[in-house]
Structure 1
């Protein structure tokens, strides 16, 4: 009986560890309206939410809205297939909204004069593990970058302009082997 309990406990620990490790970190490729890969986003489960390390190039210099959207679909050129902001708790839009924000709402990011974004941001309400707020629940979600800044209040999505880049957030997202333009060419090393 003691061995059976120890075995059951060991199996539970392994299964719990595997479910978290399989989901985090998760890398997704980001594509522009021409369906060219422009960089990556690496999502990592943290105690305080999901950390997103975003590294993309080829954007207009300046501030850009960024948010997680409800469907893992990035059909160029408009990326409308990604749906609305990820909002499983039925809140209103905006990080400055006193009634609370969408789970997918994120702070604006800035592209430098060369059009590069290299930043880390947090999604404090989100999870990668199974949960109502999991970015991987059902089929997954997507990450959208917009042409202008999100004003943090306007409904339903912050008046941030057109969608200019998209990446799917799924368990299979990190299987994309397209070369990353933001990384040095490995053949030249």
Structure 2
């Protein structure tokens, strides 16, 4: 009887420790998947002096983009995600057009008439040429398998002008004055 009790106790302890190890592993995997982050640096284009930092964070199926930009002319400027992370061209055109995986017309984010997944919008630079913008969406992801949402391999572009939200296909936002690849 003692031998049976010892075997049962040993098996119970073994099962509990396996269960605990499995739970810790699952928690770690969930924590890793719950938060992803990409930091990138804006590089001046078209003979501008525009630079800055852009951070993309994914938490709870939401991507938060925060951009801090300097060297701008005071006033409003457009910012978009473009098709390719290739910022090698002096005028930024190596990034291609706006990122538009769902083949929608250009427009204001959330508009009923449609919008590109890269149509972020406008932000304002102060009299010192500094501007910031923060944007949150569940329509992007960082490194996921959904090509309609994955922003990795794309570029963030700051434009000289304002996005009018109607001109096709780009909103008539003017020259590309700063670029950063969104790369893991």
Give the alignment's TM-score, normalised by structure 1: 0.76
* Structure 2: runs of 5 or more not aligned: 1-13
Corresponding residue of 2:41: 29
CA distance in 2, matches of 1:11, 1:35: 49
Pair 159,143 (structure 1): closer, same or farther in 2 beyond 3 Å: same
Partner of residue 68 from structure 1, selected from 56, 65, 81: 81
Per-residue CA deviation, residues 116-175 of structure 1 (Å, 9 max, x unaligned), is 112322345212251420212xxx11100111011112211111011110111111xxxx
Q: Give the match for residue 99 of structure 1.
A: 113
In the alignment, structure 1 residue 134 sits paired with structure 2 residue 147: no
Report Cα offsets for 1:91-110 as digits up to 9, x if no partner: 22111653321111112011
The aligned counterpart of 1:115 is 129
Structure-to-structure mapping, 1:1-189, within 5 angstroms: 2=15, 6-21=20-35, 23-24=36-37, 26-33=38-45, 34=47, 38-47=51-60, 49-95=62-108, 97-132=111-146, 133-136=149-152, 140-171=153-184
Structure 1 residues 22-61: Cα deviation after superposition (integer angstroms, max 9, x where no partner): x32x211011125977210111224473222111111111
The structure richer in strand per residue is: 2
Given that residues 48 and 177 in structure 2 are in contact (C-alpha distance below 8 angstroms), is that contact kept between their aligned partners in structure 1? no
SS in 1 for 2:120: coil
Q: State the Cα distance separating 1:68 from its structure 2 match.
A: 0.8
* RMSD after superposition: 2.4
* Counterpart in the other structure of 2:3: none
Unaligned runs of 5+ in 1: 172-189
Q: Residue 154 of structure 2 contacts residue 183 of structure 2 at CA under 8 Å; is this kept in 1?
A: yes
Q: Is the 8 A contact 2:41 2:54 kept in 1?
A: yes
SS for the counterpart of 1:168 is strand
- TM, length-normalised to structure 2: 0.78
Q: Partners of 1:105 and 1:123 in 2: how far apart?
A: 12
Q: Based on CA coordinates, which of the two structures has the bigger radius of gyration? A: 2
Change over 3 Å in CA distance of 1:9–1:89 after alignment to 2: farther
